[in-house]
Amino acid sequence: MRAIAISEPGGPDVLGLTELPDPEPAAGEVLIKVHAAGINRADIVQRQGFYPPPPGAPDTPGLEVAGTVSALGDGVDAWSVGDRVCALLAGGGYAELAIAAAAECLPIPEALSFEEAAGLPETVLTVWSNVMQRAAIRPGESFLVHGGSSGIGTSAIQMLSAYGCPVFATAGSDEKVAVCEALGASRCINYREQDFLVELQAATDGRGVDVILDMVGGDYVDRNIQLAAVNGRIVNIAYLQGSQISANLMPVMLKRLTLTGSTLRARESEFKAALVAEVREQAWPWLDDGRLQAVIHQVFSFAEASDAHRVMEASTHIGKLVLSWE
């Protein structure tokens, strides 16, 4: 099969097409003929040499794919050959064929293309795991996502709006602000022109925000603590501006805050299977009724993987970047 390999740690130019042996599904797994694969920030960090795949996972990058089931491992009866599926992977998505645990696959709604479906598993599952599960947000509680125009952000805005929460967001341009608000954010702050702490304290009449999802880190950590409401929860899923910070932790005690975070890639298979089952039951119907849509910025051919990584690193995109074999 054709696949994208990382020749050595480095910039986008280290990505290139190569030939690899076709994988075969083990018990409990399916083999997917990949039509499209989503690009995630984790792929960038892996390419740079700072995020190796978990033990047993392929070296090929790629955490989410969409395609058709082409073979079944022993004991798999939930899927049939030819089924359209998208799947969460620990790696190996940048290839013509990929192995996925059968329990970590989701059906592709009829109205969605493979390219749209490829942009959903990682973002939707990450938001559900961190906001609905870890932060235990409840309908009516306020929610803020930093990086609202990212793949995670565009999914989070739609999902929390569908869940019945007032949604706030931050983004880096007026165009991105407009997209976030069109997706359901009641207020999006252009962080290049306004201080989100000042603006959202005013917008909430000083009460603050109940749940904050942050992938920025750096000085956002201290400002998140200041902005959080009493009994608020702050969840970090990345630290793009650094994880070494100076912060005043007194409000954590006084406001009874919870600071937490997680990664999904290396979690045990039982956790991922349970997460996928919960998302399929509770969030996947939002795709059918239109409350959740895949926001795709651009589709690249797999041969253009280096160009796609450059776009992600420039942070000029809105929504997901996707690779396609079509």
Burial of 139 (0-12, 13-18, 19+ CB in 10 A): exposed
For the chain, give every domain's residue range: 2-120+265-324, 124-261
**pLDDT (0 to 100) of residue 250:** 97
pLDDT digits (tens, 9 = 90+) for 68-117: 999 999 999 999 999 999 999 999 999 999 999 999 999 999 999 999 99
Going from the C-alpha of 112 to that of each of 31, 108, 290, the distances in angstroms are 21, 7, 11
User: What is the C-alpha separation between 64 and 92, in angstroms, rounded?
Assistant: 9
To 10 degrees, what angle do helices 196-203 and 220-227 make?
A: 10
Q: Is 102 helix (H, G, I), strand (E, B) or coil?
A: helix
Closest CA to 320 of 79, 20, 36, 120: 120
CATH of domain 124-261: 3.40.50.720
Q: What is the pTM of this model?
A: 0.96
The phi-psi region of residue 125 (left if phi > 0; otherwise alpha if psi is between -120 and 50; otherwise beta) is: alpha
Answer whether 71's CB lies under 8 Å from 31's CB: yes
- Thinking of the domain 2-120+265-324, which architecture would CATH place it in? Alpha-Beta Complex (3.90)
pLDDT digits (tens, 9 = 90+) for 21-65: 999 999 999 999 999 999 999 999 999 999 999 999 999 999 999
Model confidence at 326, pLDDT cuts 50, 70, 90, reads confident
Which residue(s) pair with 299 in the sheet?
322
Length of the chain: 326
**pLDDT (0 to 100) of residue 316:** 94
Closest CA to 102 of 82, 121, 75, 128: 75
